[in-house]
Homo-oligomer: A and B are copies of this chain.
Amino acid sequence: MFIRQIHYLLALSKTEHFGRAAEACHVSQPALSTAIQHLEEELGVTIVRRGQRFQGFTLEGERLLQWARILAQDWECMRQEAAQCNRQLTGTLRIGSDHTDLQAAMDRNITVAEVTYCNSNSVAEHVVMMTLALVRNYIPSYNWVIKGGWNIADCVARSYDLEAMNVGTVAAGRIGLRVLRLLKPFDVKLHYLDRHRLPEAVEQELNLTYHSSLESLTKVCDVVTLNCPLHPETEHMINEQTLKNFKRGAYLINTARGKLCDRDAIVDALESGQLAGYAGDVWFPQPAPNDHPWRTMPNHGMTPHISGTSLSAQTRYAAGTREILECYFDGRPIRDEYLIVQGGRLAGVGAHSYSKGNATGGSEEAAQFKKD
């Protein structure tokens, strides 16, 4: 289904006119318009500015177009088969299948696949960047430059070396393990929590300490990074109670999902100093409302949800999406590492990472986001 929508987007971009775009796509104008509307509803964003006629793409629309253009060269050979796709295969040009109601997909025998690995490195680099920036007090120091001042004492009063700190990841899957590897030469003491223990050889190579509970991990770590998926078992795992088990003045990095953390408990912990810093680029809901308290809480280093969307990652999305679709249309099995749900049950990497149920509730709040 989304392949067809991408085709419509490309035609709109080329013609800048609903009627001529529909003509180019061999569909009626209402059909094209409805397809775009469905896509907007599915993604929860406005793609096209409408008036009497087509008035251009929004920034989100431009972003979709970027992806569409990468796929365009592969498009022609797939178009005819695409019409069947929407009933049996679902996917989006992103990672993290928690935004899909997996239980509903299981109930309806719909296959869910994602381009796993395509942005694991991108997110892991973001985690390391944010860890260094919080620990070394980067952004407040940069802001002294911008303000025209020179206050070394203020800059360094919160600036430490990362070296020799205890750093722990909640989950050591594709992203968490990459974070551990990237941090190895920093001479930090590495810790991890996961429901699947890593091979002994990996534990030895990285000199890892394994923890079987969040409490055990947070009691010894100066930096904690969340790299687990969101599902009913992990929702709000960081809350007022569990924050009490952190070392006072610890740093928390969350590039996984905003809903892993209780929003207000994070704000309180930063205000009281229980947390020395919080960074990440995931929010709940998304886009974050303009008055989301994480925008203004002290000592944060947040970004909008971009860690997995670097231009480098976007190129890999496109290649992976192509592979999944080619497998699907050719009747070849989709790689286990791309599969989340198949044949009515969690499958492939989905069986490894997710639990049954639905953790997508509450996103309607995202509608509170207003463009400037």
Contacts and interface: CB of A to CB of B under 8 A. Distances in A.
Contacts of A313: 161
A63 B310 contact: no
A278 B363 CA distance: 39
Interface string A136-154: 1011011011111111111
Contacts of A294: 145
A290 to B, nearest CB: 4
Interface string A279-322: 00100001110110011000001111110011111100000000
Contacts of A291: 148
Given A125-B136, A129-B133, A311 B151 contact: no
Contacts of A151: 59, 304
A163 B182 CA distance: 11
B145 A311 contact: no
A121 interface: yes
A185 interface: yes
A268 B280 CA distance: 33
A289 to B, nearest CB: 9
Given A126-B136, A159-B309, A161-B312, A63 B153 contact: yes
A40 B151 CA distance: 17
A336 interface: no
A372 B121 contact: no
Nearest to A131: B129
Contact of A306 (B126, B141, B286, B309): B141
Q: Is the interface of A mostly helix, strand, loop or mixed?
A: helix
Interface in A102-146: 121-122, 125-126, 128-130, 132-133, 136, 138-139, 141-142, 144-146
Contact of A372 (B128, B139, B148, B182): B148
A87 to B, nearest CB: 30
Contacts of A286: 150
A133 to B, nearest CB: 6
A275 to B, nearest CB: 17
Contacts of A281: 141
A329 interface: no
Contacts of A152: 59-60, 63, 304-306, 309
A198 to B, nearest CB: 16
Contacts of A148: 290-291, 295, 372
Contact of A129 (B59, B129, B163, B314): B129
Interface of A: 59-60, 62-63, 66, 121-122, 125-126, 128-130, 132-133, 136, 138-139, 141-142, 144-157, 159-164, 181-182, 184-187, 281, 286-288, 290-291, 294-295, 301-306, 309-314, 369, 371-372
Given A125-B186, A145-B294, A159-B309, 15 more contacts: A63-B153, A66-B153, A125-B132, A129-B132, A129-B133, A132-B132, A144-B303, A145-B303, A149-B290, A149-B304, A150-B287, A156-B306, A159-B306, A160-B312, A185-B185
23 contacts: A60-B152, A62-B153, A63-B153, A121-B187, A125-B132, A125-B162, A141-B304, A141-B306, A142-B301, A142-B303, A145-B295, A145-B303, A146-B295, A147-B372, A148-B290, A155-B303, A155-B304, A156-B309, A156-B314, A160-B312, A161-B310, A161-B312, A164-B312
